[in-house]
A and B are shown apart, each in its own frame.
Chain A
C-alpha cells in the first residue's frame, strides 16, 4: 500500500488529554474486602452487596474467554484500580456545584453540561472514571415521569426497581466480564420510562476514563414500561496512556408490551498508538429483553476506538411479534482488533430481527463480525434478515465474518447476505481522475458504505459519526 493510503487514515486522537484533578482512589487489587469497600463508599442497600459478592464468587471460578479473534497479553486483575472518583463527596444540589475542572473537561469533549450551553434536546449523564458527576434536565424529565439518574442514586432511591431488574437480563454469572462488572461496577445510568410515556427528549450518557490505572466498570439499566418509548445514546473517550485500561461494562434493557427502546453508541475510546501500544480493552456485555408483545429493541453502534473491542449487543425476543434490530459500523485501523456482532434469540411467535453490520478495516487491523441467529422451537413464523459487509482499505488489514445460525422451527425464515469491497489505489485513482481528492473519495465511499447504519442514528449524531469516521480514516489510503 502506498504512502497516500496510509497517510489518509491516520489522524491524531483529539481526546487524549488527562484532567488534573484530586481523586479518591483505592489501592489496586480485587478481593471481597475491596468489594465491601466499594459498596460502603456508595452507601448501597444490603442486597447490592450480596449481588456483588455472589458475582465475585462466581467470577473466581470462571475463565477468561479465548474464542474471540483477538490477542492480548494476560490481564493482571490485581493491578487494576477498582474505584477512583473525583473528590467531591457531598451531594450536589445543582450543576453549578460541580467542580469547574470537570465541567471544563466535558466541555472540551464537546459535552457542555452547564445550563446555558447544554444541548437543547438531549439530557446528559456525565460519568468520570468511576462516578456520575452530573445529569442534566432531570427536573424536566421527572415532570414527564421519566427517571434518568446515575445507577448509584437509583440504588438508594429506587431500590425496588433495581432489585427487580438489575441482573434480570444479564445474570451475574453470565460471562467472565459480566461477572466481574457485577462484582465491582461503580456507576452508570438508570432510565425508567413509565407506562404510556414517550420520553420527551434524547437521553445520553457520556463516559470518560481519566485515571491511567483504573478500570471502568459501568452498568446501565433501561426499563421501558408498557407502551412507552425512549431513545438513548452513549459516547465515550479516554486519555492516551501507553498502558491498557480495561473497560468492562454491562448494559441491560427491558421492554414490556408495546414498548420501544432505541440504544445508540458512538464509541471512541483511545485506540492505542500506531504500533499498538496503549488503548482501551473494551469488553462489554449488552443485552436487551423484549419481554412484552409487540415490543422493540434497536441497537445502533458506531465503534471506532479501543485497542480491542469485544461486544455483541443482543436481543432476546420473548414477546410475540417483538422486534430486534442491530445496526453496526465497526472501524479498525493500525493495530486495532475488533470482534463484534450480535445475537438475536427468537423465542416468541412472529418475532423479527434485522442485522446490518458494516466492518471497515484499515492499517494492520483485524475486524471480525460474529453473530448468532437462534430460532427456538416455539418461534413460529420468526424471520431474520442479516447483511454483513466488509470494506478493506489498503491491503494489510483483515476482515472475517462468523455467522452462526441455529433454527429449531421449520416455519422460520432466515436470510444472510455478505459482501466484501475494497478501497485501494485503483478506486482512489478513479475518483482522482475525475477531479475528486483522495480524502473526499474515501469519505464518499465510507459514507455510502455506512449509510444504512448512520440513517438509524439520532440526527445530531449521524453527522458526528460521519465526521468521526472521516477523521479516523484520514491518511489511510494512497
Chain B
C-alpha cells in the first residue's frame, strides 16, 4: 500500500554515468518510497542493467554526476558490500556460477555479514539451517540445491529462483530485480512472482526491471517508468505497461523526442 507519508527509500537525482568512457546514463531521476513497487521498462540497450549495477556499486561504472540517496545516506560513497549490508539487493540478469563454493556456505556468509553489519546476532550452521529451510518455501526450492555449488549447473529458472532465495534471506529494503522474468516458463514465472509478492511489505520497496509486461500481471507495480537512451522518458501507473504491451515503445520515444524538440 502506498501513502504520501511513507519514508523515502531511494532518491535518484540527475544521475549520469560512463562505462569505458561512453556515457550510458544521461540524467536519471527516480524516487521510491517504502511500500512501493516500481517497474522500469524500455528497449534493449537503454541502460536499465547499467542503472541497477550503479545502484549496487559495480566498480566498472563511473558516476560522473548527480546524487543517489538511500534511506537518507549518500549511497554513492559506500562500498558495494556496505550497500548490500545496508539493504540494497540486486537480483542479477545473468547470475554467475561459482564452482567449489556451496550454496549453503555462500548464503550463510552473506547472511552473517549483514547481521554483523547491523549489530545483529550471527547464526551458527545449525540455526542457519533452520532459517534457510523456511526460506526455501518462498521459492519452492528443493533443499538439495543448498549443497550444490552456487548456481553451478542450475537451469536458467533455478538460477533466478536462487536469486530470490538470497533476497528472501537478506530481506533488503530495496530489492532490484533485473530481468528476473526473462527465460522463465510460465510456472517458474509464477513461483518467482509469488516469492516477490511474499517478500514485499510496507517497510521495503521493489524495483523491477523488465521489458515484458508479462511479469507485471503477477507482481503489480504502483508505478511504471519507461527508460530510453539513459534516462526515464515517461512515468505512469500499471496501465502504461499495458499500453506499451499493445503499442510497443516507438510512440513513447516519438512523443519524448517531440517533447524535447
Contact = CB atoms under 8 A, between A and B. Distances in A.
Interface of A: 2, 4, 419, 421, 425-427, 429-438, 440, 444-445, 447-449, 451, 478
B113 A437 contact: yes
B110 interface: yes
B231 interface: no
Contacts of B102: 448
Contacts of A437: 81, 113
Contacts of B92: 430, 433
A449 B59 contact: no
Nearest to B85: A435
A432 B117 CA distance: 13
Give 6 nearest A-B pairs by CB, closest first. Answer: A448-B100, A434-B110, A435-B113, A432-B80, A435-B84, A448-B101
B100 A435 contact: no
B209 interface: no
A109 to B, nearest CB: 31
A419 B59 CA distance: 27
A448 B99 contact: yes
Interface string B72-107: 000000011101110001101001101111100110
Contacts of A436: 81, 106, 109-110, 113
B114 interface: yes
Given A434-B110, A435-B113, A429 B101 contact: no
Nearest to B100: A448
Interface string B215-249: 00000000000000000000000000000000000
Given A435-B170, A451-B100, A429 B59 contact: yes
Overall SS of chain A's interface: helix
B149 interface: yes
Contact of B90 (A427, A433, A438): A433
A432 B79 contact: yes
Nearest to A427: B96
Contact of B110 (A4, A435, A445, A451): A435
Given A4-B59, A435-B113, A427 B170 contact: no
B117 A445 contact: no
Of the candidates A426, A434, A445, A449, the one having the most CB atoms from chain B within 10 angstroms of its own CB is A434
Contacts of B58: 429
B81 A430 contact: no
B159 to A, nearest CB: 12
B109 A429 contact: no
Contact of A445 (B59, B101, B166): B101
B60 interface: yes
Given A2-B59, A425-B60, A435-B114, A445 B98 contact: yes
A449 B100 contact: yes
B56 interface: yes
Contacts of A430: 92, 95-96, 98
B56 A427 contact: no
A245 B141 CA distance: 56
Contacts of A451: 100
A160 B113 CA distance: 61
A432 B98 CA distance: 13
B98 A433 contact: no
A423 to B, nearest CB: 9
B113 A427 contact: no
8 contacts: A425-B59, A434-B84, A434-B110, A435-B85, A435-B117, A436-B106, A448-B99, A449-B100
B77 to A, nearest CB: 15
Nearest to B112: A435
Interface in B16-36: none
Interface in B149-200: 149, 166, 170
A426 B99 contact: no
Contacts of B79: 432
A430 B56 CA distance: 10
B101 A444 contact: yes
Nearest to A446: B100
A431 B80 CA distance: 9
A421 B109 contact: no
Nearest to B110: A434
Given A425-B60, A429-B58, A440-B109, A448 B114 contact: no
A190 to B, nearest CB: 39
Contact of A429 (B80, B100, B114, B170): B80
Contacts of B89: 433
A445 B100 contact: yes
A389 to B, nearest CB: 9
Given A425-B60, A448-B149, A435 B101 contact: no
A437 B53 CA distance: 17
B84 A433 contact: yes
B80 A444 contact: no
Nearest to B99: A421
A432 B56 CA distance: 9
A434 B92 CA distance: 11
Contacts of B59: 2, 4, 425, 429, 478
A478 B60 CA distance: 10
Contacts of A2: 59-60
A319 B98 CA distance: 41
B83 to A, nearest CB: 8
A427 B98 contact: yes
A433 B90 CA distance: 7
B56 A433 contact: yes
A444 B102 CA distance: 9
Given A435-B113, A440-B109, A478-B59, A426 B96 contact: yes
Given A427-B98, A430-B96, A435-B114, 9 more contacts: A430-B92, A432-B80, A432-B84, A433-B84, A434-B110, A435-B113, A435-B170, A436-B81, A436-B109
Contacts of A445: 98, 100-101
A368 to B, nearest CB: 21
Contacts of A438: 81
B152 to A, nearest CB: 10
A319 B109 CA distance: 48
Given A425-B59, A435-B114, A444 B96 contact: no
